[in-house]
Amino acid sequence: MGSADVASAPASASPPSLQLESVGFRYPNGHHAVAGLNLRLGTGIVGLLGPNGAGKSTLMRMLATLTRPTEGRILWNGTDTARDPNTLRAALGYLPQEFGAYPALSAREFLRYLAAVKGLPHAQTAARVDACLDLVGLSEARDQRIGTFSGGMRQRVGIAQALLNEPALLIVDEPTVGLDPEERLRFRNLLTDLAGQRLVILSTHIVSDIEASATELVILSKGRLCYQGSPEALMAAAEGKVWDWTVPAATLAEVRAAHQVCGSLRRPDGVRVRIVAANAPSAHAEAVAPGLEEAYAWLLASAGGV
């Protein structure tokens, strides 16, 4: 199987369907990490956003069948994953935030070991491992020890192992933390190539990781859903809420204390700041089209999440 086949051919020929019905997770002390989530997701890349503590990792673990919801149901192609988790597990590829690999093994040895753990037919393992390594750009390094790999290369090994079973659902949790800008860009491009007929869920707090690739956003704040829709619709909703204002450099700290500043640029005439606010912060401020980062900041502020 060639790399193009790996990217475009998940194990199931039917379109993926993931549905959450009033899903929640409550700790024994009564605290809700996630509460009342209702979602319906299909093919494409879904960017799961939210500040630290919003419930993203808890949701990821429930979707990966590592944690059972304490409330509601998660349905995969109509099957309740709490009653029958193996139906989803057979179609699942998962890269957790903390992905561990054996440093003494080569990439090829490690993937062959995981293929055996996942129960892939032995006769297909060698070709499948090589195809996955080719897809993530590690063919030439397949016999090198993982302990010698950069952070970005180790993350690509993580994606390769998640693709071994040709998943219809691919979940990646904070995959670019600690990567340099070039590796982050390569990783984002790889996820875009992998979408095909899959459902890819990318959980992150870095907006730029999903800005160019996500077809849909799911945004959590304090364990609850505060937005589901396209990036374009979110930016349209934030129109008239982002302001461009040039202030004296000496007043920058005061401006930051009084307003939500999303960006700044030093210029000869002062500091140009981008401010998210319902109203103009000054008569000299000019309304500008919001970027996704600013629209996200506006949404969280409106939802009381920041």
pTM, full prediction? 0.86
For domain 3-230, is the CATH number 3.40.50.300?
yes
Condensed to tens digits (0 to 9), the pLDDT of residues 83-109 reads 999 999 999 999 887 778 889 999 999
What is the tens place of the pLDDT at every residue in 236-260? 999 999 999 999 999 999 999 999 9
Centroid of chain to Cα 127: 29
List, for residues 274-284, the tens digit of each pLDDT value: 999 999 999 99
CA distance 196 to 8: 5
User: Region 144-150: what's the mean pLDDT?
Assistant: 94
Query: Residue 2's pLDDT is what?
Result: 42
**What is the predicted pLDDT for the residue at 4?**
43
3, pLDDT greater than 80: no
Report percent pLDDT > 70 for the chain. 95
Nearest of 175, 173, 174 to residue 152 by alpha carbon: 175
Compute CA distances 121 → 14, 89, 94, 105, 112, whole Å: 22, 16, 20, 21, 11
Amino acid in position 124: Q
Distance CA 43, CA 195 (A): 8
Mean per-residue pLDDT over the chain, rounded: 90
Give dist(CA 277, CA 242) in Å, integer: 6
Name the residue ranges covered by the structural domains of the chain. 3-230, 240-288
